[in-house]
Amino acid sequence: MSGIYIHVPFCVVRCLYCDFYSTALPHLKDAWLRAAIREMELRRDYLGGDTVATIYIGGGTPSQLSAADLERLFSAVYRLFPVDSDAEITLEANPDDMTAAYVGSLRSLPINRISMGVQSFDEADLHLLGRRHNSRRARQAIGDCIRSGYDNISIDLIYGIPGQSLQGWEANLKEAAGLRIPHISAYHLTYEEGTRLHSMLEAGQVQAVDEDDSADMFDLLVDSLDGYEHYEISNFALPGRISRHNSSYWEEKKYLGIGPSAHSYNIETRSWNVASLSDYIEGINRGKPILETERPHYYNEYVMTALRTSRGIEVSRIAARFGEDTLSFILRQSESFIAAGMLEHKADRLVLTRKGIFVSDAVIRALFREDF
């Protein structure tokens, strides 16, 4: 089983915190669509004939595509790849685009999961992040999706926003949980270099929340989503609603990434397309996708992906797949984190504790092997 990711690189406006690749050039939509279909044709053998179990249309803003555009994309996917009849098919959407009419127009397509960038139900937060929707629109969009029959909905939320109080974050979580949104992805705000928010931070126009408040917000997140499984550092799901597409990244399954900046993985190699729409289109038109390729660092990738999940690292797998010396290495490196209460060694698994999740990048880095 494998997955397909399609990157739709168009946004109406750039949110202040975002460093994903996208452009505000809607007139290139048709050229992008033709190139994306052509890329699927050129790379149809990449997944080795595996059945496609998940399709994820991400971005950018996929809800900037019309139902007719999406129909063209899907007919190419189904023509070129064997798609499982029970495939999870997700469309990322901006609440501003999800009017009742637009949501209704999607119903004839194979999409069965909607992932919406709500980010917050608070007007001040949305304004600071530079989002184009407001909280009323977010609520309406969720309601319209539910009324149209979508029962597999995910929303993204951001916490640690300058000016956001603990009470404000709690209100967001209460609202999401109260609506029984099946899947919630919650991320701490980061200040990525090159974003406007990063410049504002540097110029002292905004202040990052302090570490104690961040930790309290994370505690609130984990404690208040009652009935949700915290299955990955940033992801929470009601029973049966874990994102199969996300999970396939962590389970080392193959995926083909279509569109500028999209990443692909087929066990032997990992590659990523050029992050420029014009270069992407030019490469595809010449019949030569512009991409970079590297051989994966299996051990490091396993550590990084497994440790992000609630299942953690399978210790016996380390020995079986990477050898006894790697097993000794990881157990040795883990000792100080176990002693500090950041890692737990439970039965056959090394799992991040709540304290460890908060500093997960440092723990993961310490368990990496540079020589692999």
Tell me how far, at minimum, the Cβ of 369 lies from ligand SF4, in Å: 34
Select the residue interacting with ligand SF4 from 3, 62, 117, 160 (CB under 6 A). Answer: 117
Select the residue interacting with ligand SF4 from 4, 11, 217, 221 (CB under 6 A). Answer: 11
By beta-carbon proximity to ligand SF4, the closer residue of 59 and 356 is 59
By beta-carbon proximity to ligand SF4, the closer residue of 18 and 318 is 18
Using CB under 6 A as the binding rule, whether residue 141 contacts ligand SF4 is answered as no
Q: Do the beta carbons of residue 51 and residue 80 sit within 8 Å? A: no
Using CB under 6 A as the binding rule, whether residue 22 contacts ligand SF4 is answered as yes
Using CB under 6 A as the binding rule, whether residue 2 contacts ligand SF4 is answered as no
Phi, psi of 118 (to 5 degrees): -75, -45
Distance set, CA 204 to CA 162, 316, 334 (Å): 12, 49, 38
Shortest-Cβ-distance residue relative to ligand SF4: 18
The tokens for 70 are 């999406």
Which strands form 235-237's sheet, in the order they lie side by side? 229-232, 235-237, 183-188, 153-159, 113-119, 83-93, 52-59, 2-8, 255-258, 263-265, 270-273, 291-294
| Among the listed residues 145, 142, 205, the one whose alpha carbon sits nearest the alpha carbon of residue 178 | 142
- Which region, judged by CB under 6 A, interacts with ligand SF4, from 28-36, 56-64, 208-216, 315-323? 56-64
Using CB under 6 A as the binding rule, whether residue 54 contacts ligand SF4 is answered as no
Using CB under 6 A as the binding rule, whether residue 20 contacts ligand SF4 is answered as yes
Select the residue interacting with ligand SF4 from 2, 54, 90, 94 (CB under 6 A). Answer: 94
By beta-carbon proximity to ligand SF4, the closer residue of 14 and 349 is 14
d(Cα 95, Cα 89) in Å, to the nearest integer? 18
By beta-carbon proximity to ligand SF4, the closer residue of 60 and 160 is 60
- Which region, judged by CB under 6 A, interacts with ligand SF4, from 14-22, 120-128, 300-308, 351-359? 14-22
Using CB under 6 A as the binding rule, whether residue 106 contacts ligand SF4 is answered as no
| Among the listed residues 125, 210, 229, 239, the one whose alpha carbon sits nearest the alpha carbon of residue 172 | 125
Give the list of residues 6+ apart from residue 302 with CB closer than 8 angstroms, or none: 252, 313, 317, 318, 321
- Residue bearing tokens 């809607």: 26
- Which region, judged by CB under 6 A, interacts with ligand SF4, from 38-46, 55-63, 197-205, 242-250? 55-63
d(Cα 372, Cα 370) in Å, to the nearest integer? 6
Site for ligand SF4 in 341-370 (CB under 6 A): none
Using CB under 6 A as the binding rule, whether residue 60 contacts ligand SF4 is answered as yes
Question: What number of chain residues touch ligand SF4 (CB under 6 A)?
Answer: 11
Select the residue interacting with ligand SF4 from 2, 61, 120, 154 (CB under 6 A). Answer: 61
Site for ligand SF4 in 215-244 (CB under 6 A): none
| Among the listed residues 352, 317, 315, the one whose alpha carbon sits nearest the alpha carbon of residue 337 | 352
By beta-carbon proximity to ligand SF4, the closer residue of 15 and 206 is 15
DSSP string computed for 187-249: EE----TTSHHHHHHHTTSS-PPPHHHHHHHHHHHHHH-TT-EEEETTEEE-TT---HHHHHH
Residues engaged in binding ligand SF4 (CB under 6 A): 11, 14-15, 18, 20, 22, 59-61, 94, 117
